[in-house]
Structure 1
Amino acid sequence: MDVNLQFWSTEGKSFFQRFLHWADILDPTVLLNSNKKIEKSRLLLQTNAQTLQEPLQDKKVKEAWKLSLSSVHPGTGEIIPLVFRPPAFLPLATPLLFASLLPHRGAKQAIIWQAFPYFVMTQHKLSGPMQTFFKRILPIPLLACLSVFNVMIVRGTEYENGIEVMDKNGKVIGVSQKAGLKAVQETALSRAALFGTAVIIPESLLYFLYRTNFLLRNPHALTPLRLVMTVSALGAMLPVSFSVFPQLGEIKRDDLEKEILSSTEETELFYNRGV
C-alpha cells in the first residue's frame, strides 16, 4: 500500500480529522516546491517506518507528508502534473466559477449552464418571479449537474475498467468495476455539493444586499463583492468537499464481483477514492 494511503488509513477515519488535514494540504503555496524536494520527502517517508505510526510528531516529517499527499498519486506513486494537484484546484477553479456567475448580454457569451435559462427568458419574455427563477435559481442545480457529468466523463475509465481493491494489509486482491463506480460516484457527489454550495452562498448574500438597497446605492461594489464572496465560499467548501468521503474507501466483500469473492475471505476491502 502506498504511504499516502497508509496515512489516510490512520489519519482519515473521521470527517473532522480529514477536514483538518485537507485544510493544510490544499495550501496553494505547496505548489512552489520543486519535484526534487517532493521526491526527497517521499524517500523520507518510505525509509522511516516510525513516521507511519506517528506521522505528525516531527515538523520535518509533517512537511514531508504535506508534500507527498498534495503532489503524489497514491495509485502510481508518480508526481502529479502541477495543474492537476489538489492545491491548484482553488486558484484554477475560482476564475472559471466567477466568470460563470457574471451576467451575459447574449446567448453566445453565456456559459453552457446559463445558455438554457437565457434562451427561455428571451423566447418567452419572462418577468417577475419566473425571471428570478431562470436567472438566479435554475443555474445552480445545472452547475451541480454539470460538475457530476464532468467527473463521470474524466474518470470514466475507472468504472469501465475497474480499480484495484486491497485488503487491510494493502495486498491487492483484484480489480473491481463496482469499486470504481463507487469511487467515482462519491467524488461526483462531493464535487456537486462543492460547486452548488459555492454558488448558493454568494448569490444568497447578494440577494439580501439588494433588499437593503446597498448595491443600488453602490453599483460599482457588485463585482468586487461577488469575487470576494465566491473566493471565500469556494475556499471554505473545498476542504469540506474533499473530506465528505474517506480517501481510503471501504467496500463490503459481498458488493464485489464473484471472481474477487473467491480470492479472499476478508469481509471489507479498500480502494483509493481519488479526488
Structure 2
Amino acid sequence: MLLGLGAISYAACVGALPLTFVNRYGLKSPLMQLVVRKLLPAPLFGLTSAFTVAMVRSPEFDNGIEVMDRNGTVIGVSKKAGEKAVMETALSRAVLFGTTFFLPEVLMYCVQRARLVKNPRALGPVRMFVIMSVLAGMLPASFSMFPQCGEIKRADLEQEILSSTEETEFFYNRGI
C-alpha cells in the first residue's frame, strides 16, 4: 500500500514539474510551450510507468522469483531472475505508455497540418480514435517485447541454485 502511494505521488510530482518550471521562470516562448506541453510528457510518462512497475514489484527485487528447469520443476528462488523480470516488465511498460503518449501527438499534428479535419469540434473524437488505435497497436507489441517465460543462463544465477542442479538453462515467469 505504501509503495503504491509513493508511486502515485511520484507520478503526480513528475507530471506537474514541467508546468511548475514554465510558470515559475516565465518560459512563455512558443518553443518552450511546444516542448513542455507536447514533447516532454511522453518520456516523463514512460519513465513514471517504468518506475511504478519497479516500485510495485520491488518485493521481487528483494525476495526473488522461482526459477524452473526445462521440465517445469522449481529449482530455487533467484534474486537475479527477479531483477531481470522486473526490468523487462518496466521497460515494456515504458515503451507502451511512452509511445502511446507520444505517437498520437505526432499524428494529430500531421492531421491538423494537412487540414484533414475541417470542423474543429471533430478534433476531439479524432484524437480519441488516434489514441485508442495507437494503444490497441502498442499493447500487443509491448507484451511481446519479452517472452512471458523468460530464460536465464546458468552463469547469471546464484551459487545456491547452481549447486543443486547441472542444468545449463533456467526459466522464470516474467509476469505482466
Aligned to 2:157: 256
- Which residue of 99, 105, 109 corresponds with 1:197? 99
Task: Provide the TM-score with structure 1 as the length reference.
Answer: 0.57
2:166 aligns to what SS in structure 1? coil
Aligned to 1:267: 168
Aligned to 2:148: 247
Aligned to 1:159: 61
Aligned to 1:185: 87
Q: Any gaps of 5 or more consecutive residues in structure 1?
A: 1-110
Per the TM alignment, residue 166 of structure 1 is displaced from its structure 2 partner at its CA by 0.6
Aligned to 1:134: 36
Aligned to 1:56: none
Output one character per residue of 1:228-260: Cα deviation in whole Å (capped at 9) or x when no partner: 111111111111111111111000111111111
1:150 aligns to what SS in structure 2? helix
CA distance in 2, matches of 1:112, 1:136: 18
Per the TM alignment, residue 155 of structure 1 is displaced from its structure 2 partner at its CA by 0.9
Give yes or no for contact 1:113–1:139 (8 Å, CA) kept in 2: no
Aligned to 1:172: 74
Aligned to 1:224: 125
Q: CA RMSD in A?
A: 1.5
Per the TM alignment, residue 212 of structure 1 is displaced from its structure 2 partner at its CA by 2.9
Query: CA 1:150 to 1:228, structure 2 compared with 1: closer, same or farther past 3 Å?
Result: same
CA distance in 1, matches of 2:138, 2:49: 15
Runs of at least 4 residues of structure 1 off by over 4 A?
A: none
Q: Any gaps of 5 or more consecutive residues in structure 2?
A: 1-11
Per the TM alignment, residue 113 of structure 1 is displaced from its structure 2 partner at its CA by 4.5
Aligned to 1:211: 113
CA distance in 2, matches of 1:158, 1:197: 26
Give yes or no for contact 1:163–1:177 (8 Å, CA) kept in 2: yes
Percentage of identical aligned residues: 55
Output one character per residue of 1:1-38: Cα deviation in whole Å (capped at 9) or x when no partner: xxxxxxxxxxxxxxxxxxxxxxxxxxxxxxxxxxxxxx
Per the TM alignment, residue 209 of structure 1 is displaced from its structure 2 partner at its CA by 2.2
How does 1:1-275 map onto structure 2 within 5 Å?
112-123=13-24, 124-213=26-115, 217-275=118-176
2:54 aligns to what SS in structure 1? helix
Matched residues, number? 164
